[in-house]
């Protein structure tokens, strides 16, 4: 995978019962590379599946925060993906958006964004999206 890591910090503030590892990272890559990375990680069944349904083409950057209790339970992966003139395919709807810009946030298998702008059939649109493994709401507003 050709994912460029631009920042990485990992820490366990206190090594004791109930200790937590936190990892903060910034990276950039092609959309497909990010999807492949997530599919090979522990997030394959959540964020990996989401990225197969919301497919991003082109270069993107991301901020990632992992909260990992050393017990292995209740891991939280959250972050933002920054889009700049990307193409986004919402696969289940066969809906292609072009020149998409804005920030997409996620917490584990939940993904959400608003104030994303782009083109749908060469018409300017603002897009809002909230989704999880079993539910999703998509709103498109043309202007």
Tens-digit pLDDT profile for residues 55-82 = 899 999 989 999 999 987 888 989 998 9
- Is residue 115, in this structure, part of any structural domain at all? no
Confidence of residue 132 (pLDDT cuts 50, 70, 90): low
pTM of the model: 0.77
Among residues 107, 61, 51, the alpha carbon closest in space to that of 81 is found at 61
- Is residue 125, in this structure, part of any structural domain at all? no
- Is residue 36, in this structure, part of any structural domain at all? yes
**Positive or negative torsion for Cα 53, 56, 57, 59:** negative
Residue 38: the pLDDT is: 78
- Is residue 138, in this structure, part of any structural domain at all? no
Looking at the structure of the chain, the number of domains it has is: 1
DSSP 21: E
Give the percent of the chain with pLDDT over 70: 90
- Is residue 139, in this structure, part of any structural domain at all? no
- Is residue 137, in this structure, part of any structural domain at all? no
DSSP 133: S
Residue 29: the pLDDT is: 93
Residue 136 confidence (pLDDT) above 60:
no
- Is residue 90, in this structure, part of any structural domain at all? yes
93/53 Cα distance (integer angstroms) = 9
- Is residue 134, in this structure, part of any structural domain at all? no
Per-residue pLDDT averaged across 96-105, rounded?
92
SS3 31: helix
Residue 90: the pLDDT is: 86
Question: By residue range, what is the domain housing residue 11?
Answer: 4-108
């Amino acid at each position: 995978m050709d994912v460029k890591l631009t920042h990485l910090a990992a820490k366990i503030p206190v090594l004791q019962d109930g200790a937590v590892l936190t990892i903060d990272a910034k990276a950039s890559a092609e959309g497909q590379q990010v999807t492949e990375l997530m599919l090979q990680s522990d997030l394959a069944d959540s964020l990996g599946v989401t990225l197969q349904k919301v497919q991003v083409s082109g270069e993107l950057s991301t901020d990632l925060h992992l909260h990992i209790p050393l017990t292995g339970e209740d891991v939280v992966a959250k972050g933002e993906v920054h889009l700049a003139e990307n193409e986004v395919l919402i696969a289940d709807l066969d809906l292609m958006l072009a020149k998409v810009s804005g920030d997409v946030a996620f917490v584990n298998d939940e993904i959400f964004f608003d104030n994303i702008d782009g083109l749908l059939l060469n018409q300017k649109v603002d897009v809002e999206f909230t989704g999880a493994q079993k539910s999703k709401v998509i709103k498109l507003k043309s202007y």
